[in-house]
Structure 1
Amino acid sequence: MNPDHLFLHSKSGSKLQVLYLNNKAKYTVIFSHGNAEDIYLVQSWLESYFLKQIHVNAVVYEYTGFGEANGRMPMDTSLYADIETVYLYLTDQLGIDPSTILAYGRSIGSGPSCFLGERYPLAGVILHSPIASALRVIFDLRWTLPFDKFPNIDRVKHIGCPIFVIHGRRDEIVPFKHAVMLHENSKVKYPPYYVDGAGHNNVEKYAAEYLPKIKEFLEYIESKEAGVINASEEKAVGLVRSVMDVEKQ
């Protein structure tokens, strides 16, 4: 598969490198990679493994400060701007229906994925070896501190589409309990996939059911047609209903 190699102007002010693998599929997945990866590693993984069994379109973008993307070293706000730029390109420029877009975040990529899911309509979110927040990787915190980064534990409470959590039970980098907390706090829960024996970077090697589980999640989304309402839209709907109730009185 020959991907479209794009350079977009990120909302962060940087030039954003994007690979778009058009598989002529119904669903499009935005992949946010881990800290030790780049888009070419993800592209190789997608073409040699993932896309051979999962029929979706795939979009991979390089974080500001990584690879060929220019700019300063990546910050959480830069990653948020990057994924937002990709999403708006898909919806506004390519005309892709938001109800057919999923966010897939691995490790630190769970941060921008949760950010996107909280603010924009999506069909679903997949969190692979995710973090509850940056500081929680190091400290056992009960509450999110004001200066913490990637507060996914708080954002999943407001994401209006199904969230599928995948995590190795022997993750040596991100404690397994992060996955449990994220699942338990998700507004729209989907059965998690906890992989026995797997660490942070080898879930696929231990998980014969990894790809079938992804397929099941896509089938669930399609059958339910779920996940196209985000928190902001829900508030708007609630406000309209309240006004209508007042007018009826």
Structure 2
Amino acid sequence: MGGVTSSMAAKLAFFPPNPPSYKLVADEMTGLLLLSTFPHRENVEILKLPTRKGTEVVGMYIRHPMATSTLLYSHGNAADLGQMYELFVELSIHLRVNLMGYDYSGYGQSSGKPSEQHTYADIEAVYKCLEEGYGAKQEDIILYGQSVGSGPTLDLAARLPHLRAVVLHSPILSGLRVMYPVKKSYWFDIYKNIDKIQLVDCPVLVIHGTADEVVDCSHGKQLWELSKEKYEPLWLKGGNHCDLEHHPEYIRHLKKFVLTVEKPPSQRYTGSRRRSTDQQLLPPRKSTDIVFEASRKSTDRREKPRHSTDKALPPTDVNKLLLKSNSNNLSEKLEKLKNQSNYAEKLRVSFDQVERSRRSVDCCLEKSRKSVDHQLERGRKSVDRIRTG
């Protein structure tokens, strides 16, 4: 029953280009595999990878000399490596990353038939090649899933706890939810991303077009809401399902994301995460603080409650102390003002006394001056009379 259901789902979900957009050819000089429609590049390697399902998938590895991250790209439906080639080269250049793209079983020149389980085996084989063939570490790998590629991407990401990051490009909540607004996951549904996103521990970037007519933008928004470590999403206004790469914001935002996740976790600023106002105001804690905090909590569990002065005061007692403290401060201030007022009053009295003394002296001097003037005037008149007589 499960096989029949999976086969029916495959017919509805997978649309490999027919015919494929490329053929595999061997270079006459080197014997290296090439895509028939593209010339040989020194930094591009084409390879075939066996999977645990018994198929062989075609992969394309692009090396960048300055790369510190490797992007594992799972492309969308109705596409193959021949159609994705130029975009992969551009992404590697602009993002400064090594890039591995591949065709699912039954796509391009990969053998087998497409199915959900085959895509899981396909991405596992490609990831194993990155680790064993190119020395990539889990901590340096960014998984990128476009549309139906979000299925194998999240299935693998949920099982790798130390990934650098995940990018979901026009992702789906599940295969059935693309067609029907169901509220729960059914056993016969494929790519239950809505359940697996909650198991991903690394930063997640979601990119979705607001005018997507194939997979509604609500799929991307709900996956972003369910992510543990959110990065600032990119909702491209007017963007459809297959044209997001042509928007200038696409490459700018993606480049910013890659630069951010390449920093140590303590130095990242994931505008993408929604933080409370209090968390934004608090300075970031150092790793040592976190270790000490964990140690403190563990010792707190072992200790019995302490009943001495370490016990926190209830709010009412705190208020009483604050009121008492404020009252004491107010009394001190009033006492100072009172002393200053008394001092000023004393000064005013002293000044009044000086002023009265000055006025009395001025009055005496005025009287003495008038008396002298009067006597001099009388003497002058007496002399004048004597002269006249």
> Under TM normalisation by the shorter chain, which class is it?
0.7 to 0.9
Partner of 1:18: 59
1:80 and 2:120 are equivalent in the alignment: yes
How many angstroms does 1:52 deviate by?
A: 3.3
| 1:148 paired residue among 171, 177, 189 | 189
Aligned-partner Cα distance in 1 for 2:58–2:262: 30
Shift of 1:223: 2.0
Q: Are residue 42 (structure 1) and residue 61 (structure 2) matched?
A: no
1:171 and 2:212 aligned: yes
The 5 A counterparts of 1:155-166 are 155-166=196-207
In the alignment, which residue of structure 1 is the partner of 2:74?
32
**Equivalence for 2:355:** none
Which residue of the other structure, out of 54, 60, 70, is the alignment partner of 2:95? Answer: 54
Residue 218 of structure 1 aligns to which amino acid in structure 2? V
Question: Percent identity between the aligned chains?
Answer: 35
Task: Tell me by how many angstroms 1:94 deviates.
Answer: 2.5
Range moving further from structure 2, 190-199 or 1-10:
1-10
Q: CA deviation at 1:56?
A: 0.5
Cα shift at 1:216? 1.2
Q: Residues 61 and 101 of structure 2 are in contact (CA less than 8 Å); yes or no, is this contact kept in structure 1?
A: yes
Unaligned runs of 5+ in 1: 227-240
| Structure 1 position 204, deviation (Å) | 2.3
Q: Deviations along 1:144-179, whole A, 9 cap, x unmatched?
A: 111110011111100011110000000010011001
Task: Select the structure with the greater relative contact order (CA < 8 A; seq sep ≥ 6).
Answer: 1
Rg larger for: 2
The Cα RMSD (Å) is 1.9
Letter in 1 for 2:171: P
Q: Is the 8 A contact 2:168 2:206 kept in 1?
A: yes
Q: Counterpart of 1:131 in 2: which secondary structure?
A: coil
| Counterpart position of 1:220 | 260
Which residue number corresponds to residue 288 of structure 2? none
Report the 3-state secondary structure (helix = DSSP H, G, I; strand = E; otherwise coil) of the residue aligned with 2:172.
Answer: coil
Amino acid at match of 1:162: P
2:142 paired residue number: 102
Structure 2: gaps of 5 or more residues: 1-40, 267-293, 303-389
Counterparts of 2:51 and 2:117 in 1: how far apart (Å)?
Answer: 11
CA shift at 1:22, angstroms?
0.9
CA distance in 1, matches of 2:188, 2:239: 31
TM-score by length of 1: 0.87
Deviation at 1:209, TM superposition (A): 1.4
Distance 1:138 1:126, change over 3 A: same
Distance 2:96 2:74 in 1: 18
Amino acid corresponding to residue 110 of structure 1 in structure 2? S
* TM-score, scaled relative to structure 2: 0.56
What does 1:199-210 align with in structure 2 at a 5 Å threshold? 199-205=240-246, 207-210=247-250
State the aligned residue count: 228
* 8 Å Cα contact 2:95-2:258 kept in structure 1: no
Q: CA deviation at 1:51?
A: 2.9
